[in-house]
Amino acid sequence: MRLKIDRKPEKVLPDTRRVIARFFFNGEERAVALIKRILALEKDEVFAIISPLLQDFSKRHRSITQKLMRHCERVRHYIELAGANFNELDEYCKLLIGSYFTHEYSIESAAFFNPSIVPDPDQTNLEEGQLRVIISFRAVGEGHVSSVVFRRAIIDRDGSISVIRAGKYIDEAEKIHNLVYHKRQFLRKAIEADISEFFIQVVADKLEDRFDYNQLKGLVYEARDKTSDPKEIAQYKMILALSDSYRRITFSKDTDISDRVIFPISDFESKGIEDARFVKFTDDNGRTIYYATYTAYDGVHIMPKLLKTTDFYEFRTSPLHGSGARNKNLALFPRKINGKYVMLSRIDGWNNYLMYSDNINEWEDPVKIQGPEYSWEFVQMGNCGSPIETECGWLVITHAVGPMRRYTIGASLLDIDDPSKEIGRLKDPLIMPNPDEREGYVPNVVYSCGSIIHNGELIIPYGHSDHSSGFASVNLKTLLDRLKSGG
């Protein structure tokens, strides 16, 4: 018999009005031809076009002129090819050129789902029994490109949830390359990313043990310019794209959490940043760090990556390495166990594995700890976010796939000192898609990337058929008692 759950009335729906101004490029030949047409305009014609454009789009974007100027700077090379001196162009001409290389992208136009939840670093000005939380979502727009977006919410003492309305504007982060790379880790990840060892070695032979982005870019460009073979050029582009997977991104301090979107930047993320699993991690010194494991996808390769922040304004990203850092579904435990980092993974696509590591970015020797047992999980099982520490053991919310590719949410309990030991697992799903949740972008799916405990209730945010999101809760003691009795 299934446990009783409480579905909350609060729903989070995709909002097509949430748009960002992105760089738009149609190829070198067309770029030069377009710029020549713009340069042929008289000054008063330029002003007559750009002035109403700025008035219109300034209502939809914060600092639209900065974005247009940045996009104009990105085509500086093609401006020179069109016969103009970039430094001699006036401001309005640059803004107009930038506008032709800009388009609006609705980040939530297709779907808004797969949430994870963590306590907000700011817990001030709350009533007794309330908890302020940050919820991350996978937002999907045109072309099925996924990004990470956020909402803030308040959980009351009775478990009711109020998601704070999103702000008017939404912005991408500023992109900043990391200063230093470690050669051994970088080369290892390049091989894992299916880059030819021959092309890796061409560049690697000239690298020091530690190097920065500009050194790598110079060597890649030097090697790339010596060939006209498209396949060889593609390999060098992949090397440079991999370096872009290590970066630091920052948001302005005057942005609300709902204003910030982590959008794909590197080629290895070109088809999306999928299913971020955030966890509040406590280190050996008692400090709090927020980590998120996520999947970078370019349409062919899957690259597990790690996101790190302490304040949700600045984030650092880096790839995860090793034989255990493969496929999707990695979830970090919220603290070390026996002095080591611990991670759940699903390297074969259908069983749960456990890994230990001294280095949070390197994961080897995965050990299988769970596999499908019941009919509703015969196809595959995996985690729905990081394990939650309880007095009875590690509570792991799971997802499973059964007949008709129906996704359900379950739960299991692992030993607190040795999480390779399963204490119990629910014999029936905790959450199944009901009639109001089964229609959407991908039908018959409920899925979560992280839950939270508050006032004796387990609160599970979850996606409805890859379209929108809602919340459910279950009494924690009742759930743990069921798990301790075997499920």
Query: For the segment 407-452, what is each residue's pLDDT rounded down to a tens digit?
Result: 999 999 999 999 999 999 999 999 999 999 999 889 999 999 999 9
194 vs 47, more confident? 47
Q: What is the pLDDT of residue 220?
A: 78
- Mean pLDDT, rounded, for 63-87: 95
Query: For the segment 252-284, what is each residue's pLDDT rounded down to a tens digit?
Result: 888 999 999 999 877 778 788 999 999 999 999
179 pLDDT band, cuts 50/70/90, is low
Mean pLDDT of the chain: 91
Residue 153 is which amino acid? A
First to last CA, the chain: 10
Q: What is the pLDDT of residue 206?
A: 82
- Tally Cβ neighbours within 10 Å of residue 360: 18
- Structure-block tokens of residue 399: 């997802």
- Structure-block tokens of residue 470: 């809602």
- Structure-block tokens of residue 290: 């927020």
Q: If we measure between CA atoms, which residue out of 136, 150, 168 comes closest to residue 461?
A: 136
What's the CA gap between 279 and 270, in Å, rounded? 25
Asked whether 142 and 109 are in contact (CB, 8 A), the reply is yes
- Tally Cβ neighbours within 10 Å of residue 225: 10
Q: Is 314 helix (H, G, I), strand (E, B) or coil?
A: strand
Cβ contacts of 315 within 8 Å, gap of 6 or more: 173, 248, 249, 250, 262, 307, 308, 309
What's the CA gap between 62 and 30, in Å, rounded? 29
CA distances, 355 to each of 97, 202, 325, 346 (Å): 51, 34, 10, 11
88 pLDDT band, cuts 50/70/90, is very high
Q: If we measure between CA atoms, which residue out of 339, 372, 374 comes closest to residue 358?
A: 339
- Mean pLDDT, rounded, for 89-116: 95
- Structure-block tokens of residue 78: 């093609």
Q: CA 453, 458, 461 angle in degrees (round to 5)?
A: 100
* The pLDDT of residue 241 is above 90: no
- Tally Cβ neighbours within 10 Å of residue 34: 17
Cβ contacts of 198 within 8 Å, gap of 6 or more: none
Radius of gyration from C-alpha coordinates of the chain: 24
Q: If we measure between CA atoms, which residue out of 407, 225, 259, 402 comes closest to residue 329?
A: 407
Q: If we measure between CA atoms, which residue out of 219, 255, 253, 213 comes closest to residue 236?
A: 219
Q: Of 64-78, 136-150, 212-226, 466-480, where does mean pLDDT reach its minimum?
A: 212-226
- Structure-block tokens of residue 16: 């097509």
265 vs 313, more confident? 313
Q: What is the pLDDT of residue 118?
A: 98
- Mean pLDDT, rounded, for 293-317: 89
Q: What is the pLDDT of residue 432?
A: 97
Query: For the segment 184-236, what is each residue's pLDDT rounded down to a tens digit?
Result: 777 777 777 778 878 778 777 888 888 777 777 778 778 878 888 888 877 77
- Structure-block tokens of residue 402: 């059964």
- The strand pairing partners of 12, in sequence order, are 469
Q: What is the pLDDT of residue 221?
A: 79
Q: What is the pLDDT of residue 245?
A: 65
Q: 280: part of which helix (H) or strand (E)? A: strand 272-282
Q: What is the pLDDT of residue 319?
A: 83
Assign residue 232 a region: left if phi > 0, alpha if psi is -120 to 50, beta otherwise?
alpha
Question: What percent of the chain clears pLDDT 90, i.e. is strictly above it?
Answer: 71
What's the CA gap between 101 and 17, in Å, rounded? 21
What's the CA gap between 141 and 108, in Å, rounded? 5
What's the CA gap between 143 and 139, in Å, rounded? 12
